[in-house]
Amino acid sequence: MTAQAAVRPEAEVMTARDTIRDLARRHGIRYERAGLDDWAEAVSRVAGDDVDLDETEWLLVALRRAEILPGIEGTRLHYRYIQERKAGAA
């Protein structure tokens, strides 16, 4: 049996938002503001970047800090979340 045949067609694919929230729930992760968050926002503002993360993106930050979603995995999931949000799915 191929991997393709093992996938049930009725299996629902979770949105990126749901995936992030599920990972946080399963690992007991909550976002708690760290001292460097204020500094990073100030530096971004001075640089002319308007960074305004939503609740789901802050959870993603917490997952990365806890090394549950490191490196490229976190980047890909964040990209997917942004694309879904733009499309109105999240």
> What is the predicted pLDDT for the residue at 67?
93
The string of pLDDT tens digits covering residues 23-61 is: 999 999 988 777 777 777 777 778 877 777 889 998 998
Q: Whole-prediction pTM value? A: 0.70
Q: Domain residues of the chain, as ranges?
A: 14-87
The stretches of the chain forming alpha helices (DSSP H) are 3-6, 16-27, 35-46, 55-65, 71-87
